[in-house]
């Protein structure tokens, strides 16, 4: 991490990767390429509207999910660093960057905790959520599928675009830019699902808040893409197996569930600061004894 708190090429990065600084990458080219690669899937869904049994998502979302990964690979290959694509793909499992293992707690526990709070708030609000919950026997399969899907998205957004944006903007600004573009990328799918205006707005805000949390975790885990992939997979799995499934979670236009995630993002910004999302406001500072006489 450099003096400004931006994550740079560290740890297991090779000489070629370290030489290719994030500011030389174009996040805007990446975003444009993601949209262009996604366009055929969106058009196909208009002609052949088929939906998945999980969350009733359009089947074409399967292909569109991997466009960020494909866009990033194309750009890394175009940059021409020897072995660049191989090193880039290896970042999907760069867990060695997570030197402070305590960060696995928010990566794994934060979203399930918010789902529990959501359920409790829904019950208090009198919403008709199920009173029982049976853990699906196919839970490992669901998690595995969401983990693979998260690789498709986070390899692009976290692995390629995050450092490139943070080389140009403060961490919070980078997260808001990325979150807004990612939210708009979801709009064709949301329209295909026929989401009401309130849920459409809350779902878009959720994506922005989620990206703030993701950049926060990325910056505090040594720039680990694996951490963001795991976080993303846990998030989607938890929402899908919420009592009554995603449709129950999004009751009331998702104001409670998505609202709590947005509150969590605001708390993170307050505690870790928008400049880096990595400097805890109440961190204990060790006294400087360098100037003391022996």
Q: Note the pLDDT tens digit of each residue in 152-194.
A: 999 999 999 999 999 999 999 999 999 999 999 999 988 888 8
Closest by alpha carbon to 162, among 243, 74, 264, 91?
Answer: 91
Q: For 251, which DSSP code?
A: G
Q: What is the pLDDT of residue 253?
A: 94
Tally Cβ neighbours within 10 Å of residue 223: 27
Give, for 174, the enclosing helix (H) or strand (E): helix 171-192
How would you class 274 by CB atoms within 10 Å of its CB: exposed for 0-12, middle for 13-18, buried for 19 or more? middle
Q: What is the mean pLDDT of the chain?
A: 88
What percent of the chain clears pLDDT 90, i.e. is strictly above it? 72
Strand, coil or helix: 222 = coil
* Beta-ladder partners of 58: 51
At residue 18, does pLDDT exceed 70?
A: no
Cα gap 236→120, rounded to integer Å: 19
8 A C-beta contact, residue 172 and residue 269: yes
Count Cβ neighbours within 10 Å for each residue of 46-73 and write b for 16 or more, e otherwise.
eeeeeeeebbebbebbebbbbbbbbbbb
At residue 123, does pLDDT exceed 60?
A: yes
At residue 13, does pLDDT exceed 50?
A: no
pLDDT-derived band of residue 104, with 50, 70 and 90 as boundaries? very high
- pTM beyond 0.85: the answer is yes
């Amino acid at each position: 991490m450099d003096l400004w708190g931006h994550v740079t090429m560290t740890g297991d990065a090779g000489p070629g990767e370290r030489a290719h600084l994030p500011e030389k990458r174009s996040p805007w080219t990446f975003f444009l390429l993601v949209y262009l690669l996604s366009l055929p899937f969106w058009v196909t869904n208009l002609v052949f509207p088929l939906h998945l049994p999980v969350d009733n998502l359009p089947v074409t979302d399967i292909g569109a999910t991997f466009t960020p990964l494909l866009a990033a690979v194309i750009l890394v290959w175009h940059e021409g660093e020897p072995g660049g694509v191989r090193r880039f793909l290896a970042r999907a499992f760069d867990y060695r960057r997570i030197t402070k293992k305590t960060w696995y707690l928010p990566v794994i526990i934060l979203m399930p905790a918010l789902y529990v709070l959501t359920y409790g708030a829904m019950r208090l609000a009198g919403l008709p959520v199920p009173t029982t919950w049976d853990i699906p026997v196919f839970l490992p399969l669901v998690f595995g599928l969401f983990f693979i899907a998260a690789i498709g998205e986070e390899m692009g957004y976290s692995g390629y675009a995050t450092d490139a944006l943070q080389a140009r903007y403060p961490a919070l600004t980078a997260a808001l830019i990325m979150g807004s573009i990612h939210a708009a990328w979801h709009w064709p799918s949301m329209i295909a699902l026929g989401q009401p205006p309130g849920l459409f707005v809350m779902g878009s805000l959720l994506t922005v808040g989620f990206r703030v949390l993701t950049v926060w975790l990325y910056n505090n885990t040594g720039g680990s893409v694996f951490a963001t992939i795991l976080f993303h997979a846990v998030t989607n799995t938890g929402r899908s197996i919420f009592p009554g499934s995603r449709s129950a979670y999004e009751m009331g236009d998702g104001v409670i569930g998505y609202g709590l995630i947005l509150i969590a993002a605001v708390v993170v910004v307050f505690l870790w600061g928008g400049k880096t999302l990595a400097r805890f406001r109440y961190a204990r500072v060790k006294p400087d004894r360098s100037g003391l006489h022996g």
